[in-house]
Amino acid sequence: MNPKKLKQLKKRTKKQSTKAAPYIEQLNHYRELFKDDPQILVLLNNAIEADRLLAAGLAPQQLPLLEVPDNFQEQLIKRINANYPLHDPAGDAEWNQLSAALPKVDQLLRNFRDYLEDQYGMWAYISAPFLKDLADFIGNGPVLEVMAGNGYISKGLSRLHPSQEIITTDSKAWTKEANNETGKHPVTTIEGLDAVTAFEKYADQITYVIMAWSPDKLTLDWELLQAMRASDRQIPLICIGEKYGATGSKQFWDNAHYRDDTAVEKLNSHYRPFDLIHDQVYVVD
């Protein structure tokens, strides 16, 4: 896809609000409607189960790509033709109903990230398999999370390593924004500090800094990186974001020095795109 068109499509997708609509109820409705079509059913079930786990305070599982497969209509025609005689009105009715529903299903699936942002204040999708990879990568040393939002990463790490010191911070400036649950329903204790202040306070105590989804076009990430480079201690920054995309500043992406080794590859083994946003995990020195 043309990069300009992709960027426009991302913007259109992000503008669609899901908070006012009964989003999960809609997914359940279409799950019943497409109960005989595994290609769609598995996508809807993944989104519904992720919501169930998050609502229970648990880390969700990794997601597949949440969009209707390009070949699904062909598969739908084959299934209907196999189940109904030629020109059977019941088969025609089912085809008309399901084919008409497909655009809405595709839109709902593509809006899942928006739903997570609206409902849970979760911007980076933090799954249980990824948390295990992250915990293995950082080991048992003390860790600082900045711009933590509601604290999903810190909470997940603390469950895996209960005795580990995990310092969770966020300025909570985003709690003032309407229609945004970031920072409003913390899942762990969060100290009200901006990223630079948090780093300067705890730099002599930590082995890693974690930063997920620094706000788009703001230079907070670049300011943090400069502060870390000015420090006497050289501490790696684990950054989750979309390079030159939906997160962070151009200055940060231009000036970051990225580690490229098997350990970083493994760190990304369970952090995979599920929509138009292609974020990943970077380790920056």
Interatomic CA distance for residues 72 and 164, integer angstroms: 47
Residue 218: C-alpha distances to residues 54, 90, 113, 253, 279 (Å): 28, 55, 21, 12, 17
- Residue 19 confidence (pLDDT): 47
CA distance 220 to 194: 9
Query: 285 and 259 in contact (C-beta within 8 Å)?
Result: yes
Q: Are residues 191 and 64 in the same domain?
A: no
Please tell me whether residues 134 and 251 are part of one structural domain.
Answer: yes
132 and 251, same domain (yes or no): yes
Q: Which residues pair with 144 in a beta bridge?
A: 167, 209
Please tell me whether residues 215 and 170 are part of one structural domain.
yes
Domain boundary residue among 120, 152, 175?
A: 120
Do 144 and 104 share a structural domain? no
CATH of the domain at 181: 3.40.50.150
Segments of the chain scoring below 70 in pLDDT: 1-21, 174-183
Coil, helix or strand at residue 22: coil
Residues 163 and 246 in one domain: yes
> What is the predicted pLDDT for the residue at 21?
52
**pTM of the complete model:** 0.88
Give me the pLDDT at residue 185, please: 83
pLDDT of residue 184: 75
Domain enclosing residue 221, as ranges: 128-284
d(CA 222, CA 185): 27
Which helix (DSSP H) or strand (DSSP E) does residue 263 occupy? helix 262-267
pLDDT in tens, 157-175: 999 999 999 999 999 876 5
Query: With b meaning 16 or more CB within 10 Å and e meaning fewer, what string describes 246-261?
Result: bbbbeebbeebeeeee
Domain count, the chain: 2
Q: What is the pLDDT of residue 174?
A: 63
- Same domain flag for 111 and 136: no
According to DSSP, residue 138 is labeled H
In the chain, what is the greatest distance between 2 CA atoms, to the nearest angstrom?
77
Q: Which of 57, 60, 183 is nearest to 45 (CA)?
A: 60
Indicate the DSSP class of residue 232: S
Examine the domain organization and report whether 139 and 75 are in the same domain: no
**Res 18: pLDDT:** 46
Tell me, yes or no, whether 183 and 86 share the same domain: no
Question: Is residue 1 a contact partner of residue 67, using CB atoms and an 8 Å limit?
Answer: no
SS3 10: helix
In this prediction, residue 173 carries a pLDDT of 78
Query: At 66, which amino acid appears?
Result: L
What's the confidence (pLDDT) of residue 15?
Answer: 47
CB atoms within 10 A of CB 126: 22
Residue 74 tokens, joined: 């062909």
116 & 248 share domain: no
Please indicate, yes or no, whether residues 153 and 113 belong to a single structural domain of this protein. Answer: no
The reply to whether 275 and 139 lie within a common domain is yes
